[in-house]
Structure 1
Amino acid sequence: MASPLSFRTVELPLRHAWTIARGTSTVKRNVFVEVRSEGHVGYGEAAPNVRYGESWETVEAALHKLAPVLEGRDLRHFRDVSEAVDAALPDNPAAKAAVDLALHDWAGKVMGVPLYRMLGVDPGRQPVTSMSIGIDVPETLAVKVREAADFPVLKVKLGADRVQEVFGTVRALTAQTIRVDANEAWKPDEALAHIQWLSTQGVELVEQPLPAADVEGAKWLRARSPLPLVADESLTKASDVPKLAEGFHGINVKLQKSGGIREALRIIETARACGLKVMLGCMVETGLGIAAGAHLAPLVDWVDLDGNLLLAEDPYRAHPVVQGRIQLGAGAGLGVEPR
């Protein structure tokens, strides 16, 4: 019996060169999954990130390994299938996320309901998403800010140097709310100095100022920071959350680094129990991956679901964004189809 799983890798050129503290990219290679059964097709996406030890090659290898595991399985036995995927892919969160998204999309289509209804989530409580501005020269920063004019909130990427130049360029161009993401670029002393300055510039929060390994530095910085600190690279799974409460005010959960919707929900629940605020973020993904996050977004405080807007062209018919809010319709499953 053939496996219900198939996949392909697609090259996705970016609208602008994407620069963060770790480097620059102009193209992404994501892996797209389909699960087929009972006349329905569920779609999923893997957006692997080298920061978490994954690439499109490792995702493909993991999916080749998984395909025979799913042969002959009844996908309606959702929990059993999901546990089999977890067991087969313990160290491949993006690959696991792709299959998890596809299974949820398939299940929603079988039942004829959107994912948010399956999860008991109110789509009307969708927070606004930020629009990310990568590190760049002043002229290109100005272009990016103009392109993001319809978003009430920006996320500005900062690195180890040019902090005041990059941020100051953006701030001089707009009165929009700004969040900052340092992507592990700073040391504790300089992080505190940067954050103290940023607190005078109308910044809402600072994401991952220190390397994830600097646990003691995070505790030291949290005790002194005038702005909320949000963990990103420090977090991949629910069991990471309790110890982060000592170093951060909130966490950033991403489906691609957590392995999909099921683990993301566990992370959100654990964060709430630990008194942490929650951001829902993304990698550079198409409208397919972004849609999955959008169905969970009403459960969190902050949203950063803009990955598809960084692409030169989105191969999926993404949910529209109106004044920064993703508009989820009544379509079954994720509600997104290929163009």
Structure 2
Amino acid sequence: MQLTLSKYVLQLRHTFSISRESHDFQDTLIVGLGLKGETGYGEATSNPYYKITVESMIAEIESVREEIENYNFTLPEVFHAFLVDKKLSNFAICALDLAAHDLYGKILDKPLYELWHTDIANYPFTNYTIGMDTVEKMVSKMRETPWPIYKIKLGSPNDVAIIKELRNHTDSIFRVDANCAWTADQTILYAPQLKALGVEFIEQPLAAGDWEGMEKVVHQSVLPIIADESCIVEDDVQKCGLHFNGINIKLTKCGGLTPALRMIHKAKELGLKVMVGCMTESTVGISAIAQLLPQLDYVDMDGAMLLKEDIAQGVKIGKYGVVVFPENGGSGITLV
């Protein structure tokens, strides 16, 4: 296979803030895998919380470049096992795994959702994320992008008051994401107030390691609780079954589509709701997420919508969340 590695710096439409960080730009790695006249593309963004940079991913992949280029590619799942054996980070593996799936589907000239025997006739609409900001700017962002479902980033001393004010400006569904900023008692206290304000669920209110607190919350909260930072890899799903009502899978964190498919299956066995989220990826990463849509209860795939300029074409999200799938195979990605 021919391997290409490219760094891009994605500029955001607005400063994006959560409880622990803010940024105006997002570094991302685009991987290309070429074989039989086709090229598959994958993506993984940098992330300071997990101490991952584009440069560190490139260094990892370059260390096994020769082995990748000489690899006898057959199935993405087998290639993923090969990458795990090379002890690459999950972020680097994700970019390669997404590229391998896109390549595989392009060679067969079939989209991934079709290869997985799923039907795109019905799928959950993505939420649109409103980062932490002044209430005035948060309202302005909602007016700029009218949407049926908003995910609201929280983690301030006035979180319930923020939702009350935002509710005055829209009838859309709210989801809230505290990114580990609350305590168990705060979550239990806030939940009834948030439910009355039209909030659908709370995502990762407590620190990732606070399993005792999460067990208390999941039994006392009147709103469903979705794991994010507490559910990184496949082994986390089983434990989340006792502490959450659902999980949010991030492809970059778990290592790509291959483990994500197994996580979805395991979560459903445990009766958990399943969500897949993004990490401000371009259309390269978003198009891969979209292939999973028929298998999901919720999805957060607005990353490319938050960018000033995209770097690829593929799956398109139209007005009010309608998804337009490309006709070409794999994840349907072409670089601009």
Query: What TM-score does the superposition give when structure 1 sets the normalisation length?
Result: 0.95
Pairing 1:13–2:11 present = yes
**Distance 1:218-1:335 versus aligned 2 partners, 3 A rule:** same
SS at match of 1:154: strand
Q: More deviation in 305-314 or 41-50?
A: 41-50
Choose the corresponding residue for 2:237, options 237, 241, 251: 241
Query: Is 1:302–2:298 an aligned residue pair?
Result: yes
Q: CA separation in 2, counterparts of 1:81 and 1:4? A: 14
Distance 2:76 2:90 in 1: 18
Aligned twin of 1:211? 207
The code of the aligned residue for 1:123 comes to I
Structure 1's unaligned 5+ residue stretches are none
Provide the residue aligned with 2:142 in structure 1.
145
Q: 2:68 aligns with which of 63, 70, 76?
A: 70
- Residues 80 and 93 of structure 2 are in contact (CA less than 8 Å); yes or no, is this contact kept in structure 1? no
1:94 aligns with 2:79: no
1:62–1:89 contact (8 Å) kept in structure 2: no
Q: Deviations over 1:236-257 (max 9, x none)?
A: 1121111112211000011111
Structure 1 residue 166: Cα displacement: 2.6
Aligned to 2:105: 108
Name the SS of the counterpart of 2:64 in structure 1.
Answer: helix
- 1:5–1:35 Cα contact (<8 Å) kept: yes
Structure 1 residue 163, shift from structure 2 partner: 0.6
- Distance in 2, Cα, partners of 1:124 & 1:44: 25
Query: Which deviates more, 40-49 or 210-219?
Result: 40-49
CA distance in structure 1 between the partners assigned to 2:21 and 2:165 by the alignment: 20
Aligned-partner SS, 1:123 = coil
Uncovered stretches (5+) of structure 2, i.e. residues with no partner: none
Q: Which residue of 2 aligns with 1:119?
A: 116
Q: What CA RMSD, in Å, does the superposition of the two structures yield over aligned residues?
A: 1.4
CA apart distance, 1:318:
4.0
Number of equivalences: 335
Equivalent pair of 1:70/1:81 in contact (CA under 8 Å): no
1:265 is aligned to 2:249: no
Aligned position for 2:227:
231
**Counterpart amino acid of 1:229?**
I
| 1:231 Cα offset (Å) | 0.2
Separation of aligned partners in 1, 2:71 and 2:204? 41
User: CA contact under 8 A between 2:187 and 2:221: conserved in structure 1?
Assistant: no
% identical equivalent positions: 36
Q: Which runs of 4+ in 1 moved over 3 A?
A: 77-80
Describe the superposition over 1:307-336 as per-residue Cα deviations: whole angstroms up to 9, x where unpaired: 111111111124222321322232211112
User: Does 1:57 find its partner at 2:58?
Assistant: no
SS across alignment from 2:59: helix
Distance in 2 between residues matched to 1:167 and 1:320, nearest whole Å? 29
Aligned match of 1:312 in 299, 308, 312? 308
Query: Aligned partners of 2:67, 2:165: CA distance in 1, in Å?
Result: 52
- Aligned-partner residue type, residue 61 of structure 1: A
The separation in 2 between residues aligned to 1:286 and 1:112, in whole angstroms, is 23
Q: What does residue 40 of structure 2 align with?
A: 42
Q: How does 1:177-196 map to 2 (within 5 A)?
A: 177-196=173-192
CA distance in 2, matches of 1:79, 1:232: 24
Q: CA deviation at 1:77?
A: 5.0
Q: 1:333 aligns with which of 324, 330, 335?
A: 330
**Is the CA contact (8 Å cut-off) linking 1:235 and 1:253 kept in structure 2?**
yes
Question: Aligned letter for 1:67?
Answer: R
For normalisation by structure 2, the TM-score amounts to 0.96
Contact 2:76 2:258 in 1 (8 A): no
**Deviation at residue 162 of structure 1 after TM alignment:** 2.4
Once residues 47 and 297 of structure 1 are traced to their aligned partners in structure 2, the CA distance between those partners, rounded to angstroms, is 21
